[in-house]
Structure 1
Amino acid sequence: MCVSKQVSAWKQDLQGVLESKVHEFHMLEYHKTTKDDIWNCLTEKVWKGDPEKKLFEAVQDVLHLNANTYMSYLTMQSFKDTNLQESIKALFGE
């Protein structure tokens, strides 16, 4: 019997799979990739929140995360970070 849970409930069970994905991305020259980066990317780009999934479905999503999706996520994060930095500079008149 396969149990569905919100993906956040599977996070601890997915640590080995996340580590495997980090290793894969390191081999693709994305050396700064972390498990948290992968998890956040999945949450924002693939799962779009905290949907219910069976464990095998969550594992499949991690393993199928491709570099294009990850790079798109990183690009959006850099825009958000840049906008935040610019907003702070504008606020303090720097």
Structure 2
Amino acid sequence: MESILPVKEWKSHVRPVLACKASEFKLMGYDNATQEDIWNCLSGKIWKGNPHKRLYEVVEDIFHLGTNVYMSYLTVNAYQEDDLEASIAALLNGS
């Protein structure tokens, strides 16, 4: 029987799969795709709340991640980072 663990505990086991997915995205023109970004995207969009899954389910989720979900994740993150930078700049300029 295969173990059912929280998704975060499978990360070290699926590094080769993440590397494969990052390579796939790079071949599709997303040159800045990284394993960490892909993992964070899945954690934030697909695996909310760190659910318990089997290894094959985690691998399946990684391979099924589409560029549309990945780009949506990156876009939202970029806006959030811009807002943070703008907030910090406003605080510093207001002092």
* Superposition TM-score, scaled by structure 1 size: 0.97
Task: Give 2:26's aligned residue.
Answer: 26
- The structural deviation recorded for 1:48 is 1.1
Number of the residue aligned with 1:54: 54
Deviation per residue, 1:21-80 (Å, 9 max, x gap): 000000010001110000000000111131100000000000000000000000110011
Distance across 1 between alignment mates of 2:73 and 2:43? 10
What is the DSSP-based 3-state SS (H/G/I as helix, E as strand, rest coil) of the residue aligned with 2:48?
coil
Structure 1 portions without partners, runs of 5+: none
Q: Which runs of 4+ in 1 moved over 4 A?
A: none
Aligned partner of 1:14: which letter?
V
RMSD between aligned alpha carbons? Answer: 0.9
- Listed as ranges, the gaps of 5+ residues in structure 2 are none
Please tell me the residue identity of whatever aligns with 1:8: K
Report how far residue 2 of structure 1 moved: 1.7
